Structure 1
Amino acid sequence: MARLTSGSAGPPRGGGDELEGTPYRALRRLGRGGMGEVIEAEHRALRKRVVVKLVRRALAGDPRFADRLRVEAQALAAVSSPHVVAVLDLGRTPAGRPYLVMERLEGGTLGEEVARRGALPVAEALDLVRQVLAGLAAAHRVGLVHRDVKLDNVFLCAPGSAAPGGGRVVKLLDFGVAKVLDGGVEAGAAGAAGAERPFPLAGPAYPTEAGLLVGTPRTASPEQARCQPVDARADVYAVGLLMYTLLVGHGPFAHLDDALEVLRAHVLEAPAAPSRRAAQPIPPALDRAVLRALAKRPEERFQSAEAFAEELGRIAAELGEAGGSARVGVAGVAGVAGTGGAERAALSAAAERASKGAMAGGGEAGAAWTPEIGAWFEAMPDGTGGAGARACAAPGEAERAAPVDARLFAALTAASTVVFSLIAALLLRGLGVW
């Protein structure tokens, strides 16, 4: 994975430069897995930092692993999206170990973000998931199904590291088990079918054996759990799980630990609506969108990543209008992060209150979260102390701005007391008590 976090440093195994003889110099190991290791490296001539995925020595002679790395590299090279990690090179070391070079990212995964913060505010979750869907839509257009969309394969770049203005950009990682569809996205994934590829993608020379589960049980679609053929709608299901987790803090089947029970739940168990599990209020339209993405039958889900993103965009726009502004896009947080200090402080306070459910309770749920959502979308780069900062004004400030007339309050109190006394007297007389 193309990640760089503070706790992942370590020298390359063996103490030597495992990339000796290539254009790259190994700096430190970022992680290891069953297939290989991930190394932070530097281009020897350009001095550019990159991330290298290197196949293990013991597996270097197995053509299946080299072929899988080739498929991943060509898949990533075919996708043009700011929300998919960029591939830079593909090659072999003099020792015969295949390697893949990717852009170096700073930040952390969504899994790390949720572990640190818990459930995210509705507006933030909408923005991040729409970015994920934008990356998947680009992949689907060239005939790729990710098959392993999950929190740990979604990278949340550090503010300003991947976009001007300080915005937080999401990038999809790890297309290592991506499926290359014949003839583009298969029939049924309507939004992507018929789109032209920049060049034909060659599938793996050693396809996955029939009847094997590809992906992660916790985030597998029902068709993956059944080891059936998949198309882009399997990724739509996985994004539904991702959105559910961001809103609630855990997935719909978090109560199950056994992998087989989890797979069975994907196939048979109807998930509870996010609003029934979340500590924060969830708009009914968002409940419906998530449950539609999690439909057991692919034909009952959103038929493409674009369709899912469009619905989430409509929900985001409605929330923005409810708060006084509809100015929001796929990268809406980018505008927020580029605002002045007063607006950022107001937004942080609003998001924190929303994430803790401080507005929940008392009155309609929809009315409870509207001010917080409006504050998130309202804060645009209009200058310090602009509309966004005003939208997040503390309740006490509003009360001080509109003082109550003491005489009117006393008159209303006296009138209500008289009316109540008359009603009580009539009731007592009717009961024969007075």
Structure 2
Amino acid sequence: MKRIGGGAMGEVWSATDRATGDDVAVKMAQGWAATEPELVERFEREAKLLARIKSPFICSLVDAGRTDDDLPFMVLERLSGETLEQHLEREGYLALDEAGRIADEMLQALVVAHAAGVVHRDLSPANVFLHRTRDGKTITKVLDFGVAKVLDASAPRTGARATMGTLPYVAPEQLGDSARAGPRADLYAVGTLVFRAVTGRMPYGDAQGTALVVLKREHDPPSIDEATGERWPAALRTFLTKTMARSPSKRYASAEIALAALREAVHGKGPALAIPEKALDATTTLTGRDRRSRKSRMT
């Protein structure tokens, strides 16, 4: 086994499954974390959730259990590539067709997860992996169901009275009480991710911390046209407006409906879309000179 990553609560090791010969990743809790019941419960709950949701767009569980030292572990499929966070840091922004493909596969993953009664609650670029297959294709894989919620009245409340997730991508109803997050909170995160990917900036600009919390609670985000000073395809504008609506009731009713709307936004007919050569920062709007130097990113 070779260590390939990790953090404060756990480590990830590469290994080979002796039974199948497949490359796998072993996620193991740190020794100190194993003495914290809440962390152990979260670790083991993630394994149980992964066992009930099967999708080509979700990192799959191979096995789970405890070591001889009583440390919980999970054996997962081994991925090759990079996170969407790393990809965006390098590229700045993405063409609409690439961002659309990633979001399409994320929504397909959510269709399966939500049908199984599971809400992710922490969809962000760091938890989306762009997996390169052996035949050279790239497949989106949703990672880390560690703070996921089970939509079951008999299940214990997870994350009650606490905000779980990555703040820029967290839905307003999650703020202060992530137990209130339903499937539409995941759709909010997907919309925010698409906005970030195609514009190179966040919906609320450079707002952070308390300022961002206030904006999320009290205001809908600006439209993509308002935020960038550009006119975007109407179907994309509608998709982003609905997925990122402050009120859950104004968002798409399901991942299936959002997926159909996304496909219309990406593949439907609309005006040609051009994006500046440089990704916009948190405050930039385009000048006439910028507009003349744009290149098309629709294809």
Residues 174 and 209 of structure 1, relative CA distance in 2, 3 Å threshold: closer
**Structure 1 position 303 matched with structure 2 position 253:** yes
2:49 maps to 75
* Residue 355 of structure 1: how far off its partner (Å): 6.3
Aligned-pair CA distance for 1:55:
0.7
CA distance in 1, matches of 2:236, 2:230: 13
Residue 307 (structure 1) shift: 0.9
Aligned to 1:9: none
- The letter for the 2-side match of 1:31 is G
The aligned counterpart of 2:212 is 262
Task: Determine what percentage of the aligned residue pairs are the same residue.
Answer: 33
Deviation at residue 303 of structure 1 after TM alignment: 1.2
Q: 2:77 is aligned with what amino acid?
A: E
TM value normalised by structure 2: 0.86
- Counterpart CA distance in 1 for 2:224 and 2:202 is 9
Cα displacement string for residues 191-236 of structure 1 (whole angstroms, at most 9, x for unaligned residues): xxxxxxxxxxx846xx435311121222111110141612101101
Question: CA–CA distance in 1 between the matches of 2:276 and 2:254?
Answer: 29
Structure 2 stretches of 5 or more lacking a match?
279-285
Residues 2-21 of structure 1 mapped to structure 2, 5 A cutoff: none
Q: Distance in 2 between matches of 1:280 and 1:38?
A: 43
CA contact (8 A) 1:280 1:356 kept: no
* Equivalence for 2:189: 238
Q: Is the 8 A contact 1:30 1:39 kept in 2?
A: yes
1:225 to 170, 175, 181: 175
Rounded to whole Å, the distance in 2 between the matches of 1:305 and 1:154 is 17
Q: Name the CA distance, whole Å, in 1 between partners of 2:230 and 2:71.
A: 49
Match of 1:121 in 2: 95
Under a length normalisation based on structure 1, what TM-score does the superposition of the two structures give?
Answer: 0.61
Contact 1:280 1:355 in 2 (8 A): no
Matched residue type, 2:194: M
Distance 2:193 2:149 in 1: 20
Show structure 1 runs of 5+ residues with no match. 1-25, 184-201, 324-350, 377-434
Using CA pairs under 8 Å that are at least 6 residues apart, name the structure with larger relative contact order, 1 or 2.
Answer: 2
Aligned: 1:273 with 2:229: no
Counterpart of 2:189 in 1: which secondary structure? Answer: helix
| Range moving further from structure 2, 286-295 or 265-274 | 265-274
Rate the CA distance shift 1:127–1:47 in 2: closer, same or farther, 3 A: closer
**Secondary structure of 2:41's match?**
helix
Shift of 1:318: 1.7
Give the AA of the match of 2:248. P
Residue in 1 that maps onto 2:122: 148
Kindly provide the CA deviation profile for residues 12-54 of structure 1, in whole angstroms up to 9, marking residues without a partner as x: xxxxxxxxxxxxxx22x22222321122222345443211111
Distance 2:276 2:261 in 1: 23
Identify the residue that residue 38 of structure 1 maps to in structure 2.
Answer: 12
Partner amino acid, structure 2, of 1:239: V
CA distance in 2, matches of 1:355, 1:100: 43
Q: Does residue 315 of structure 1 match 2:256?
A: no
Task: Report the AA paired with residue 180 of structure 1.
Answer: V
More strand, by proportion: 2
- TM-superposition CA deviations, 1:147-182 (whole Å, max 9, x none): 000011011112x44xx5x43211100000000011
**Which has more radius of gyration?**
1
Q: Which residue of 2 aligns with 1:102?
A: 76
Q: 1:83 to 1:45 in 2, by over 3 A?
A: closer
Aligned to 1:210: 160
Q: Across the two proteins, how many residue pairs are aligned to each other?
A: 287
Q: Deviations over 1:368-409 (max 9, x none)?
A: 98x863xx3xxxxxxxxxxxxxxxxxxxxxxxxxxxxxxxxx
Looking at structure 2, the residues matched to 167 and 59 of structure 1 have their Cα atoms a distance apart, in angstroms, of 37
- Given candidates 164, 169, 172, the residue that maps to 2:139 is 169
